[in-house]
Structure 1
């Protein structure tokens, strides 16, 4: 399929697809000047989106893709690295939750103090 159909199929934008191509995440087949996308490109795009949605940067995703290309999908090395990155992401999220909880509690205290000065 051409880029227009690919974009419609994935409900994305031309700019997003071109950006993923520029950073090396998507590599469409070429026929002269025309690019063609296939089902495996759809799968790659969906994996990229899923990893982005859980907080991975495009750089991290590219590193995982490059590792997969060099050691093979399903290799112990790749699985170990994915597990490590997932654990790091969970730790980052835990830290963010902790920080947000403190900020929320501070805001509640301020609101309580303000409510004492000027009741609802």
Structure 2
């Protein structure tokens, strides 16, 4: 199948499919005239990449996880680097959540400072 059909079947844009090929994640066969010829294996791989990407994983981590991914929803065989890669991603998410919590507290404080105070007009919006 051509790239347009693969895109329709997987919901992945043609541009992203080319990028995945450039990154070595997809390896379509080529016709004698040089056109990409995708098969069912690439359909499955593109869907898995999309699923992993939707989880917020970057291409470097997807490259580690993809060969160990067995099916959908994601189930992994215990490849050596899978646990470490997933733990690293969980740690990054924990850091982001902590940072977001701190940002929320700051913004909430700013909002609270706009509330009218009981002494005079100080703090009232005009």
Class of the TM-score when normalised by the shorter of the 2 chains = 0.7 to 0.9
Residue-by-residue CA offset, 1:46-103 (whole Å, 9 max, x unaligned): 11112212222112222444x65xxxx83x4x1x421221122111111111111111
Give 1:119 shift.
5.3
Report the structure number with the largest CA radius of gyration: 2
Which one has more relative contact order, counting CA pairs under 8 Å at least 6 apart?
A: 1
The alignment covers a number of residue pairs equal to 112
Equivalent runs, 1:2-81 vs 2, <5 Å = 2-32=2-32, 33-65=34-66, 74=77, 76=78, 78=79, 80-81=80-81
**CA distance, structure 1, for counterparts of residue 101 and residue 44 of structure 2:** 37
The 5-angstrom pairing of residues 85-104 of structure 1 reads 85-104=85-104
Structure 1 unaligned spans of 5+: none
Q: For structure 2, which runs of at least 5 residues remain unmatched after alignment?
A: 69-75, 117-122
The CA RMSD measured in Å over matched residues stands at 2.1
